[in-house]
Amino acid sequence: METSCLGIGAMGMAEKIDLRPYCERIGFSGELRPSVECLRGLHLAHATHVPFENIEVLMGRPVRLDLASLWKKLVEDRRGGYCFEQNTLFAAVLEQIGFPVRRLAARVRMGAAGITARNHMLLAVEAGGRQWLCDVGFGGQALLHPIEWLPGETASQFAWKYRLMEEAPGYVLQMWRPEGWLDLYSFTLEEQHAVDYEVANYHTSTHPDSFFRKQLMVDIPGPEVRVTLVGRRVIERRPEGASEVLLADDAAVLETLAARVGMHFPEGTVFALLEPTSFQRRIEYPLNIGDVDHAVVVQVVIRGHDSERFVDDELHVRDAGGGVPCHGAGSAGDIEVGGNGERGVH
């Protein structure tokens, strides 16, 4: 089969793709034809070679979804990306090979309460006369192989287990954890178009509350272990549990990205919002400031080397139910009155 031809790109326009550099990038040497074997091989190779990452967002750069930009970033520059980038490129590759592809959107759950936005991209692909769920862009929980469309059946993928469940009006993808089945995301079969992803991508990459703007996140899944870098924390996840190491400094982050993920950046590169000793916690407590009592939801930002004990020089929170004493005037201890008249800690 021709590896370089004029095909239909992921954004619905004619794009020329040379599949040879792509196959080299992901370490795939199999035959390129619209078969189940090829689909499984490409999916596994892509998922284990192209990392999930949010570096463009942290650096304040726009996340482009046109095929030329994705090709340069993910293939030529050997970088990674998040779902819109990875699954857009993967869909274009599959279509050029001859696979019928339908682009879908999902609401990520991962323990979230309530309805979340439709801000995840996934694919429904036909191969061997059957339908398959493909997703190479879901970070630390990403599929290694596509899942055949058999709701209720467990799909074992090396050390990991997934299943697709029916839930009106669509489906839920679940992953097995030691504590039970975890909902990853829900979705319907409504086909998505370029404009749908452009809107979701803009919201994900620019909204102040998007967690992609909070800290560095890099994931690379593997058959037995999944490596995740969150800020300066390196987390290795296995089916039986996870271990974690805190890197010493920004130089160690760059070394880890090069050694564990295969991404190289100039010496001295610092990723914005990289604060490993800072964290936010949302707590609901009586708030006592002076002679004023309020029962409010408090958003507390803790900074300092002792932050894991929920104590630092600027703010001390006592969780015995008797109030929230506040000390000092630093950024973690400023008291403000919101527009609703309630007071908060920011």
CB 216 within 8 A of CB 231: yes
The reported pTM is 0.77
User: Is residue 11 in some structural domain?
Assistant: no
Q: What's the number of domains the chain is made of?
A: 1
Residue 341 lies in a domain: yes
Q: Is residue 308 part of a domain?
A: yes
Provide the H-helix boundaries in the chain: 19-26, 36-49, 55-58, 67-70, 83-97, 194-206, 250-256
**What's the domain range around 305?**
279-345
What does each of the 346 residues of the chain score in pLDDT, given as a tens digit?
A: 444 433 334 444 445 688 999 999 999 999 999 999 999 999 999 999 999 999 999 999 999 999 999 999 999 999 999 999 999 999 999 999 999 999 999 999 998 878 999 999 999 999 999 999 999 999 888 999 999 999 999 999 999 999 999 999 999 999 998 889 999 999 999 999 999 999 999 999 999 989 899 899 999 999 999 999 999 999 999 988 899 999 999 999 999 999 999 999 999 998 865 444 433 333 333 434 444 444 333 333 333 333 332 223 333 333 333 333 333 333 333 323 233 333 332 2
Within a domain: residue 294? yes
Torsion sign, CA atoms 3, 142, 269, 57: positive
Q: What is the DSSP string of 254-301?
A: HHHIIIII-----TT---TT--TT-EEEEEEEEEEETTEEEEEEEEEE
Predicted pLDDT at 15: 59
Domain annotation covers residue 268: no
- How many other CB atoms are found less than 10 A from the CB of residue 155? 17
Return the pLDDT at 113.
Answer: 78
The answer to whether 87 and 80 are in contact (CB under 8 A) is: no
Position 177 in a domain: no
Which residues are known to be catalytic? 83, 120, 135
Asked if residue 337 belongs to a domain, the reply is yes
Q: Is residue 47 part of a domain?
A: no
